[in-house]
Structure 1
Amino acid sequence: MCYTCCQSAESGADAINPCLCGAPETRRAMARIEADISRREFLGGSAAVVGLFAGFGLAPTELRAQTPGRPKLLTNLRYFDGTTLAMQTGRDILIEGSRITALPAAGTGPAEAEVIDCGGRAVTPGLIDCHWHATLVSVSQIVALTQDIAFVHLVSGQEAGATLMRGFTTVRDTGGPVFGLKMAVDRGVVAGPRIFPSGAMISQTSGHGDFRLLSSLPRMDADPADYTERTGVAAIADGRDEVLRRTREQLMRGASQIKIMAGGGVSSLYDPLDTAQFLEEEMEAAVRAAADWGTYVCAHVYTPEGIRRSLRAGVKSIEHGQLADTETIRMMREEGAWWSIQPFLADEDANPRTDPIQRAKQLEVAEGTVRAFEEGRAEGVNMAFGTDILMNPGGSSSQGRQLAKLARFMSPLEALRMATGAAGDLLALSGPRAPYDGRLGVIAEGALADLLVWDGDPETDLAFLGDPDSTLRLVMKDGRVFKETL
């Protein structure tokens, strides 16, 4: 501001005020200057951010020259549509923009389309992992619970790109501070899968999401939030009012579904596996708050009592549930609930557990896994695939291999359907809170164009899923090619 001129004008020394500081033309000029400075700062800052991510291996790269607006036509292929238990032939797949717009008879697609010859290979929908922790998968438990959250986020960004390159084009994140990663993926800052976020896992005091040390007790009303609560890993809530508050906070942040802890877990030390967690009225509070926003609640739980309590409260998706008995499995079917189940077999791919308490719980869950898969299928429960690879550096590479394990319980195409069409139906429960507009997990007209081309035969064996570096020849997400080695 022109201080001297203004002072003279205010004192009456000049008959005419020479100061134009507040004049409309001056304000417009200043606005243009500030806008230009802001634009330059934004561009410079963006370049710095992209440079940072590139140095960490996170920046998205265009692996195939693609002409915007030009349709793509996948030809010379066999495909699994995500629902029909057979490989189909005689058709091509036409993609315009982000969607599959037609399945024309082979050789009849538009002449102007960019042709991608699949060489007779198998094409499947992009895979979906319905129980994933994008920010917690590739760090150890001690890092996740104590280290600078910025480091955790950088690791999660790197892992997001690796997840996409394994063929998992969508994940349902069932707990953790994932909103920033989702924003970065959706805006193209990093490559990664579509993310259906739950936000912080909502847990009672002493529940599976309460990772505090015993030395932190007792917690008083004036005490600050624990690290896991401050960073958005978990939210501890007791009583109906507090559950309502924490549920609404996650919805405000953009949760597509809500995750509650309804029973004991393996990775936590102080909640025995057999415990039932949250009173039914507390669960109902979360369910009603989610329903008001047009979405649903999923619940971490293993035991029959915890599962039945969750179902009575209106929970729509049971996470894990390997200790369910026959009566409880039938209740899941009758309620039309989904069983988001993982191949927990205490094998070489299991999350590492050295503490004897954790290890004992892990073995107990593994003992129920085979029966849970077999009886769940026999009773006709809606089942979708997830891995729950958690706090396990290096373990994420087993993601496709864990899906392949399901072929021991069912036919290969049935197993593949659990991670494509069936998983897409589960994601659709988010209704208006679904972050992406369109069907997922299927090859069908109007579906979102998430497609994979494989060396392998899904009708006979799924072992090829475990070696995506060699067998996954094309990755397309949202109509964009991220990998192509055809």
Structure 2
Amino acid sequence: MKLWNGTASLIAVAAIFSGAAQAQEGTSDGPILFTNVDVFDGVNEALIEDVNVVVTDNVITQISSEELSVAGGMVIDGEGHTLMPGLIDSHTHLMFSGITFPEVLFQRSGYGMIQGVVIAEQTLMNGVTTVRDMAGDVFDLKRAIDEGTVPGPRVYPSGAMISQTSGHADFRLPVEPNPTITGTMTVPGQKGAGLVVDGVPLMLAATREQLRLGASQVKLAVSGSVSGINDPLDTTQFTLEEIQAAVAAAENWGTYITVHGYNSRAVNQAIDGGVKSIEHGQLLDAATLQRMSDEGVWLSIQPFTLCNEPGLTPEQNAKQAIVCEGTGKVYEAIKSLPDLKVVHGTDIFISPGKGIGVSEEVEQMERLLDWFTPYEILKMSTGNATELLQMSGPRNPYPGVIGRVEQDALADLLLVEGNPLESLDAVTDRDNIKIIMKDGVIYKNTLN
């Protein structure tokens, strides 16, 4: 039987990681009772002190200051540590981490799939229990994680990023023909990484194709990018009609469109077209941010403060410097807009080597301390994301409350030493994360 190389790679990796997936630290046939814990619920600034929490199957079923017991289950003495939601990374690329741009553009998919499995496990072991994957053929990896074949976070997949000719996903060499003219799909398109489309009919087909594959939301690129080779930062990409077509296709499936967008003109056109979620936004002006706050449009932003990265070309670093300068300005503006819906993402990708792609995934939150308190940062990474994840409606792969510690919420939990609302070290120092639970299953337990 001949297998597609990505499938064969995933089967091989499954064999490697099946021991890790099955050797979870604390499986239990009955409920799990956490005693003697303080709780950060993902929403409120004050800890709920000295309570007991019961997890039954994959759901939080009780939170009480009274003594509780579970028959036939597991009791974990929390030792006064803090129980909090698992972290949510609202902008990841599991399939693009651990590899280089040439490997994305010119190599077969197998190696990237293997690295994706490694990245997924390390992401989970960083305490990140849910990710929104913002471009890449992550559908098979998500399936393997959900089935328990390999360890990893919950994945909200977008599938291939959709861009126009000369847009963010247009990584063609100068001699390559235009796919919308010749009908020959680019290599990134063939690999499910990024599609180049022009016009309403192709936009509808591309959006519907990602939904067919299982996307929980679909991503368009509506402005220039740092990494792109054909798209200056100031550009506005797609027409209003093209954006409206994608929004209509997503809404017909009960979900939404999110967009890669830096500058105000591009983002305002996207909002005019019905888009309710913006990725990045480091070059937005005050009026656009105010509009987003007034109209309930989400901002998924990343702390791009490293302005000269060795892996980028001089041209890319020149664009990166512009984005870095805008990052601080937008964070300052966010502080004056308490009703703006903001979540934290990392956008870590194209970092070759085993696990390098997530080596700073959690530490990246520390960059935000120049603008926000630990509570504000953690809320962006937990409770703020709850509503955003639920925007996928019937396409939500994990119906329920994620990102909060409350009764009936899904049991994605971290037990950390110290008070994370006073010091981020409680989560950015991995040794302080004593227990990692996802979907009611304990993947790490280093308590005495």
The one-letter code sitting in structure 2 at the alignment partner of 1:281 is: E
Question: Which stretch shows the higher mean deviation, 219-228 or 360-369?
Answer: 219-228
Q: Conserved in 2, the CA contact under 8 Å of 1:58 and 1:191?
A: no
Secondary structure of the residue aligned to 2:115 is helix
Task: Please tell me the residue identity of whatever aligns with 1:231.
Answer: K
Match of 1:418 among 377, 380, 389: 380
- Aligned equivalent of 1:260, options 209, 216, 220: 220
Hey, what does 1:477 align to over in structure 2? Answer: 438
Q: Distance in 2 between matches of 1:50 and 1:390?
A: 24
Residue 64 (structure 1) aligns with: 25
Residue 293, structure 1, aligned to residue 270, structure 2: no
> Does 2:160 match 1:185?
no
Q: CA deviation at 1:106?
A: 4.2
3-state SS of 1:406 partner: helix
Q: Name 1:374's counterpart in structure 2.
A: 332
Distance 1:81 1:65, change over 3 A: closer
Provide the secondary structure at the position in 2 that maps to 1:281. Answer: helix
Partner of residue 239, structure 1: 199
Pair 1:439 & 2:397 matched: no
Question: How big is each residue's C-alpha offset from its partner over 1:130-181, in whole Å with a ceiling of 9 and x where there is no partner?
Answer: 0001101221111111111011111101110010000000000011100000
Q: What is the DSSP-based 3-state SS (H/G/I as helix, E as strand, rest coil) of the residue aligned with 1:90?
A: strand
Give 1:285 deviation, angstroms. Answer: 0.4
Q: 2:41 matched to 1:84?
A: no
2-side partners of 1:184 and 1:332: how far apart? 37
**1:109 CA displacement:** 3.5
Instruction: Give the conservation status (yes or no) of the 8 Å contact 1:400–1:465.
Output: yes
**Cα distance change, pair 351–253 in 1 and its aligned pair in 2 (3 A):** farther
- In the alignment, residue 365 of structure 2 is paired with which amino acid? L
Q: How many residues align?
A: 437
Structure 1 outlier segments of 4+, above 3 Å: 48-59, 109-113, 217-223, 350-354
Looking at structure 1, the residues matched to 56 and 303 of structure 2 have their Cα atoms a distance apart, in angstroms, of 37
Q: SS of the residue aligned with 2:206?
A: helix
Whether 1:53 and 2:14 are equivalent positions in the alignment is yes
1:210 matched to 2:166? The reply is no
Q: CA 1:437–1:399 in 2, change beyond 3 Å: closer, same or farther? A: same
Residues 158 and 308 of structure 1: CA distance in aligned 2, closer, same or farther (over 3 Å): same
Higher deviation after alignment, 135-144 or 474-483: 135-144
Partners of 1:200 and 1:352 in 2: CA distance? 27
TM-score (norm 2): 0.93
The Cα offsets for residues 238-290 of structure 1, whole Å up to 9 and x where unpaired, read as 00111001000000111000100000000111110100001011000000100
The one-letter amino acid paired with 1:53 is A
What percentage of aligned pairs have identical amino acids?
A: 41
> Corresponding residue for 2:343?
384
Q: Which amino acid aligns with 2:52?
A: D
1:320 pairs with 2:280: yes
Tell me which residue corresponds to 2:117.
Answer: 157
Contact 1:57 1:158 in 2 (8 A): no
Question: Which residues of 2 match residues 110-125 of structure 1 at below 5 A?
Answer: 110=70, 112-125=72-85
Partner of 1:272: 232
Q: Which moved more, 1:202-211 or 1:108-117?
A: 108-117
Q: Tell me the amino acid that sits aligned with residue 371 of structure 2.
A: F
2:320 corresponds to which of 337, 357, 362: 362
1:419-458 deviation digits (Å, cap 9, x = unpaired):
0000122111111110012100000000000000112321
CA distance in 1, matches of 2:154, 2:35: 26
**3-state SS, counterpart of residue 374 of structure 1:** helix
Q: Which amino acid aligns with 1:367?
A: E
Q: Quick check: which has more Rg, 1 or 2?
A: 1
Shift of residue 54 of structure 1? 4.2
Q: Deviations over 1:38-57 (max 9, x none)?
A: xxxxxxxx9x9777534468
Once residues 158 and 178 of structure 2 are traced to their aligned partners in structure 1, the CA distance between those partners, rounded to angstroms, is: 28
Q: Which moved more, 1:51-60 or 1:156-165?
A: 51-60
State the partner residue of 1:407. Answer: 369
Q: Does 1:455 align with 2:414?
A: no
Q: Compared with structure 1, are the counterparts of its residues 433 and 352 closer, same or farther at alpha carbon in structure 2 (3 Å cutoff)?
A: farther
Query: What is the distance in 2 between the residues matched to 1:103 and 1:205?
Result: 53
SS of the aligned residue for 1:176 comes to coil
Q: Distance in 1 between matches of 2:264 and 2:273?
A: 14
CA shift digits 1:183-216 (9 cap, x unpaired): 0000111000000000000100110011111110
CA RMSD of aligned residues (A): 2.0
